[in-house]
Amino acid sequence: MAELIYELSFKGAASETLAAAFEGCHVATDRGVTVVRSQVPDQAALQSLIARINALGLELLDVHLVAEPDDGNAAWATDTDRTEEGGA
């Protein structure tokens, strides 16, 4: 089964120490929201990431699938197209 890439966002800016709790993940902070991006081999691994956020007392804001591979081509995993949303 192909690994999928998910982004999980939580409220607050992650310090370097907190980001270290997500070893192997890409962690980015912008405007008071931290996004953890990770390859996830299965639903158990996704639930583990969610549980880690909860265990650290963080407020989970969003979980979404960024993209999934097609035909073994990993080029889709390099970036996501996002539009800037106004408001909160």
18-42, pLDDT tens digit by residue?
999 999 999 999 999 999 999 999 9
Predicted local confidence at residue 71, as pLDDT: 52
* Token duo for residue 26: 């890409």
What is the average pLDDT across 35-56? 95
Predicted local confidence at residue 80, as pLDDT: 47
73 pLDDT band, cuts 50/70/90, is low
List all residues 6 or more positions away from 5 whose beta carbon is below 8 Å from its beta carbon: 37, 38, 39, 40, 65, 66, 67, 68, 77
Q: Report the alpha-carbon distance of residue 65 to residue 44 in Å, rounded.
A: 15
Domains and CATH numbers, the chain: 4-69 (3.30.70.600)
Residue 15 in contact with residue 56, Cβ under 8 Å? no
Torsion of CA 31, 6, 58, 10, to 10 degrees: 20
